[in-house]
Amino acid sequence: MNWLQLLSHRRPGETKTVAHDQTRSRFEQDFDRIIFSHPFRKLQDKTQVFPLPEDDFVHTRLTHSLEVSVVGRSLAKNAGNYLLKKYPELNKAGFTVHDFGGIVGAACLAHDLGNPPFGHSGEDSISSFFLTNKKGLFFRDKVSDEEWKDLTTFEGNAQGLRILNSKGNGGLKLTYATLGAFTKYPLSSSGEKEKGRKSQKKFGYYQCNADLFREMADEMGLKALGKDTWCRHPLAFLVEAADDICYHIIDLEDGCRLGLVPFDTVKSLLAEIIGSSYSEEKVLAIESQNERLGTLRAMAIGQLIQECSDAFIEHEEAMLDGSFDKDLTSLIPSAPAMEKIIKLSIEKIYRSKLVLEKEAGGYEVIDTLIEVFATSVYANQFEKPLPKHKSILRLLPEEYEVQLKNSKTVYEALQIVIDFISGLTDSHAVRLYKTIKGYRLPV
């Protein structure tokens, strides 16, 4: 792989070459398109980890995505500064550090667009409907083996790629480079996997986007590894690192603010990352505990950005030839401290009563919604619908009704249902659930 090809600013479907504009690059346009998009705005009411409390602020998917974008941009500028010196042809082509920041910043903004309501429990609920629910298992012989694999292993990353390239979501048409950096898992749900490769832990695109992804891979020269499987775009390692840094450090901060983790525990863990720059005296001189937390978090993230930038530079050539496939945060000096944070977070935060109650409720809400809408859509499209099926379909927004009219297969219809369910905010999902169950009726 080579950087000139990897930094393609063409968009899917374009046939002519467009000049690279340094004033407002196409990568900056990608960033702006995501910010103004409807799917991005809906992240403000999607759970990151904790349900929103009344007496304090914790992170939503929106604030998390903004913070990941800031960290990713810093990582990318550090990497870009190195790459521009190493590869003079990039300077000749007009690329600057801001282009690297624009690509990774935009990909980070979009990295959670495909996540359904209620976090990971929402993902599990969609998959388990088709795997365990009798009404979900009904669809098994209505789709191909490859399509069934998509339905039974719902994946937020693949859903995100579908959203970014769906006409029904505004047709963002991001550049190939941004789409490449966005794709952490460059393989299909039925692609060939090689044990030990981090980029094959999950999958990154559905069968409906297979042609698009092949087009992306050809345009950027991604190295093929097997059937429907490629090497990662090198900048995807930076997007992953930015996400890892933010959710490990900031989930810990939120856990402390909510009283799940003692401040002294958080302080010692972050001090381990900060290293020689840490000063107990300066920390204690800050009067507010919230301000102390903010200062420690900022210093820890700054240190992790530097360490991950160094790791990227060290392994950049191996990324280009496809031999490197690990998460950067596992290779840095602060990796042992990060492991301690992960272990503590699992025990004290992710298994806390607040989180478990949210997940339990999420399972019930999502399972009910997908059962009702999938059954109604199938009856309306491929059988004779009952009055209740027609009533349910009237709850769908207009754009989904239009898409369903144009769908020709059961797989296409079910994917549109999944688009709707996964695109709901937490509040909208709960309201819709109550309406369907008869708990919330107009007076």
Residue 160 pLDDT > 60:
yes
Task: Provide the pLDDT for residue 196.
Answer: 82
Which two three-digit tokens encode residue 229? 């499987």
Alpha-carbon distance 176 to 301, whole Å? 29
Task: Provide the pLDDT for residue 249.
Answer: 93
Alpha-carbon distance 438 to 391, whole Å? 13
Which two three-digit tokens encode residue 365? 């809400």
Helix, strand, or coil here: 225?
strand
Task: Provide the pLDDT for residue 297.
Answer: 92
Residue 55 pLDDT > 60:
no
- Going by C-beta distance under 8 Å and a sequence separation of 6 or more, which residues neighbour residue 278? 271, 299
Task: Provide the pLDDT for residue 346.
Answer: 86
Tally: H helices and E strands in the chain: 22, 2
Quick one: average pLDDT of 133-138? Answer: 93
Do 146 and 272 sit in the same domain of this protein?
A: no
One-letter amino acid for residue 399 of the chain: E
Task: Provide the pLDDT for residue 5.
Answer: 95
Do 66 and 87 sit in the same domain of this protein?
A: yes
Measured at the CA of 364, the angle between CA 372 and CA 209, to 5 degrees, comes to 60
Do 262 and 288 sit in the same domain of this protein?
A: yes
User: Among the three residues 320, 352, 384, which one is the final residue of a domain in this structure?
Assistant: 352
Task: Provide the pLDDT for residue 442.
Answer: 56
> Residue 441 — very low, low, confident or very high, per pLDDT cuts 50/70/90?
low
Do 164 and 26 sit in the same domain of this protein?
A: yes
Do 22 and 108 sit in the same domain of this protein?
A: yes
Count other C-beta atoms under 10 Å from residue 23's C-beta: 5
Query: pLDDT tens, 94-115?
Result: 999 999 999 999 999 999 999 9
Domain carrying residue 326: 236-352
Task: Provide the pLDDT for residue 56.
Answer: 52
Which two three-digit tokens encode residue 386? 């009952």
Do 23 and 89 sit in the same domain of this protein?
A: yes
Query: pLDDT tens, 346-358?
Result: 888 877 776 777 7
Task: Provide the pLDDT for residue 65.
Answer: 93
Task: Provide the pLDDT for residue 169.
Answer: 54
Number of domains in the chain: 3
Task: Provide the pLDDT for residue 318.
Answer: 96
Alpha-carbon distance 275 to 300, whole Å? 9
- Residue 190 CA, chain-centre distance (Å), reads 20
Tell me the angle at which helices 353-382 and 410-423 cross, rounded to the nearest 10 degrees. Answer: 150
Do 361 and 344 sit in the same domain of this protein?
A: no
Do 257 and 404 sit in the same domain of this protein?
A: no
Do 146 and 165 sit in the same domain of this protein?
A: no
Tell me 259's DSSP state. Answer: T
Name the phi and psi angles at 184, rounded to 5: -70, -30
User: Among the three residues 352, 381, 416, which one is the final residue of a domain in this structure?
Assistant: 352
Task: Provide the pLDDT for residue 355.
Answer: 72
Query: pLDDT tens, 292-333?
Result: 888 999 999 999 999 999 999 999 999 999 999 999 999 999
Do 70 and 90 sit in the same domain of this protein?
A: yes
Do 175 and 33 sit in the same domain of this protein?
A: yes
Measured at the CA of 352, the angle between CA 200 and CA 329, to 5 degrees, comes to 35
Do 76 and 209 sit in the same domain of this protein?
A: yes
Residue percentage of the chain with pLDDT more than 70:
94
Task: Provide the pLDDT for residue 170.
Answer: 53
Helix, strand, or coil here: 187?
strand
Is there a contact between 7 and 219 (Cβ–Cβ < 8 Å)?
Answer: no
CATH at 197:
1.10.3210.10
> Residue 54 — very low, low, confident or very high, per pLDDT cuts 50/70/90?
very low
Measured at the CA of 187, the angle between CA 195 and CA 338, to 5 degrees, comes to 60
User: Among the three residues 323, 352, 381, which one is the final residue of a domain in this structure?
Assistant: 352
Helix, strand, or coil here: 229?
strand
CATH at 333:
1.10.3410.10
